[in-house]
Amino acid sequence: MCFSDLCRVRVALRIRPKNADELAQGADFDTCVELQAECKKLKLKKNNWASESYQFDEIFGENSSQKRIYEVVAKPVVESVLEGYNGTVMAYGQTGTGKTYTVGQLGKEDPSERGIMVRALEHILSSMSLETDSMAVSYLQLYLESVQDLLAPEKTNIPIVEDSKTGEVSLPGAAIVEIKDLEHVFQLLQIGETNRHAADTKMNTESSRSHAILIIHLQRSLKMKEENTVSIPSDAEHTLPGDLPLVLKSKLLIVDLAGSERIDKSGSEGHMIEEAKFINLSLSSLGKCINALAENSSHIPTRDSKLTRMLRDSFGGTARTSLVVTIGPSARHYSETSSTVLFGQRAMKIVNTIRLKEEVDYETLYKKVEDEVDHLTSDMERQQKLRQREKMQLEKRLKVSEAFLHDLKMTSTMQIENLEKEKHQFEYAIKRLMQELEEKEGQNNVLSEKIVHLETSLNEKK
């Protein structure tokens, strides 16, 4: 299920403090910028009589803290990612203006120095449940138009794959490392920082020679999400059965772009010239895409470079995007500063269609069904054993009963036969007695007759 909303790209501007060379100029230092932080405006002075004013979503002066930068620029995007939306936080600007400091500063010893990457990961870790949610990161660099893995340097020329149906971009082969705690965060970012290409130029002693992209993959249980009172659109209706486990999958890109540079100013030589050409070419392609999107052009040249392909979802896509453009104060770099400011102004015109996507957690569902099958199988086996035991007991009792009935039947038959035999004996005895009785009666009759005859004879003799 997807829920969509329109969201304009937010753009903030940050000016770095004067560097050592600029401070050394003292009163001779000439600035081309004037900040009007209260009304979020920048006044860019071409010379003493010509200037332009530009409005941004936020303006940060040279004394702005890393914490404030994070809270204004990145925190809203991170909170949106925690709710299930994709997000992008990106730093853009001339080399030496503080992009890597803003985005990638580790600040392990001094927490106040921490950049957006560390603070975002710390924020997510404190907001997620380690029991039901998971977070993993990939850390890549685009160097000489080749995607390389900063966590596994042996992986070079990683392909960029775009889903023809959804437009989603993936990087098969890139290392994806699950994160559990802040110490692990520092370890991984330190590895990435060590493997990233950098060089010493006239404009920056540690000039990044590649675009660095930290990709944070977040998966959250929808149940846990609701328990943590993270908002769901009021018109969101669940069409899936309530007992199906749902998850919110989101992705956060934190991008530290390499700085654009003019070779005549940076003093790049040899291989560094080749690096600068690729950096400027990819940034030019990004600028063309930003211009086309700002003008609602029918054709967006996202396929012109690997950088624009990787950032396809960030500008004109489904991500909530926040951009911080960094500039220096020196009038010597007016042209580069003006270009950066105009890039930010055009980016502010871009509107993304952010999309919340709920998915069935098939892994959890499979495990749930598997556990249920195991439970039912175990219960069925237990019931079968119980029935078998009951059957055996019944069969045993049946055999005892049958034996008892057989014995009873045999006993009854013998008793009947004995009774029949006794009956016949009694009948025979009665018959004999009757015969004897009849004989006695006959004898009695004879005796009676003899008595009568004797009595008669006696009377006659008298």
Q: Name the residue with tokens 């990457």.
A: 117
Closest by Cα among 104, 295, 355, 291 to 206: 104
The kind and range of the H/E element at 96 are: none
C-alpha 434/C-alpha 121 separation (Å) is 124
Closest by Cα among 233, 333, 346, 251 to 291: 346
Q: How far from 379 is each of 73, 108, 383, 387, CA to CA, in Å?
A: 56, 54, 6, 12
Q: What is the pLDDT of residues 93-135, one digit of tens each?
A: 998 899 999 999 999 899 999 999 999 999 999 999 888 899 9
Q: Are strands 10-15 and 58-60 parallel, antiparallel or unpaired?
A: parallel
Cβ atoms of 66 and 236 within 8 Å: the answer is: no
Query: DSSP of 254-284, one letter per residue?
Result: EEEPPPB--HHHHT--THHHHHHHHHHHHHH
Separation of CA 1 from chain center: 15
Looking at this protein, which amino acid is placed at residue 224?
Answer: M
DSSP designation for 351: E
C-alpha 92/C-alpha 340 separation (Å) is 7
Does the annotation place 100 within a ligand binding site?
yes
Does the annotation place 97 within a ligand binding site?
yes
Question: Cβ contacts of residue 241 below 8 Å, gap of 6+?
Answer: none
Residues of the chain with pLDDT under 70: 1-4, 27-28, 198-207, 223-243, 261-270, 361, 462
Does the annotation place 31 within a ligand binding site?
no
Phi and psi at 36, nearest 5°, equal: -120, 75
Phi and psi at 217, nearest 5°, equal: -100, 120
Phi and psi at 412, nearest 5°, equal: -65, -40
| Average pLDDT in the chain | 86
Cβ atoms of 213 and 104 within 8 Å: the answer is: no
Does the annotation place 201 within a ligand binding site?
no
Tell me the two tokens of residue 161.
Answer: 């794959």
Task: Quote the radius of gyration of the chain (alpha carbons, Å).
Answer: 50
Cβ atoms of 341 and 54 within 8 Å: the answer is: yes
C-alpha 182/C-alpha 212 separation (Å) is 20
Does the annotation place 93 within a ligand binding site?
yes
Does the annotation place 409 within a ligand binding site?
no
pLDDT (0 to 100) of residue 28 = 64
C-alpha 331/C-alpha 46 separation (Å) is 8
Phi and psi at 211, nearest 5°, equal: -85, 130
Cβ atoms of 78 and 49 within 8 Å: the answer is: no
pLDDT (0 to 100) of residue 231 = 45
Cβ atoms of 88 and 77 within 8 Å: the answer is: yes
Reading phi first (left if > 0) and then psi (alpha if -120 to 50, else beta), residue 430 is in alpha
Closest by Cα among 192, 196, 198, 147 to 306: 147
Cβ atoms of 134 and 241 within 8 Å: the answer is: no
C-alpha 113/C-alpha 102 separation (Å) is 9
Beta bridge partners of 58: 12
Closest by Cα among 272, 314, 266 to 290: 314
C-alpha 59/C-alpha 217 separation (Å) is 30
Phi and psi at 299, nearest 5°, equal: -120, 125
Cβ atoms of 253 and 214 within 8 Å: the answer is: yes
Question: Cβ contacts of residue 411 below 8 Å, gap of 6+?
Answer: none
Question: Cβ contacts of residue 62 below 8 Å, gap of 6+?
Answer: 15, 16, 17, 18, 329
Q: Name the residue with tokens 């045993």.
A: 396
Residue 71, CB-side half-sphere exposure with 13 Å CA sphere:
7
pLDDT (0 to 100) of residue 225 = 43
Q: How far from 204 is each of 86, 265, 266, 322, 398, CA to CA, in Å?
A: 33, 11, 8, 25, 98
Cβ atoms of 101 and 65 within 8 Å: the answer is: no
Separation of CA 389 from chain center: 47
Tell me the two tokens of residue 95.
Answer: 């080399």
Q: Are strands 207-208 and 211-221 parallel, antiparallel or unpaired?
A: unpaired
Tell me the two tokens of residue 325.
Answer: 């453009």
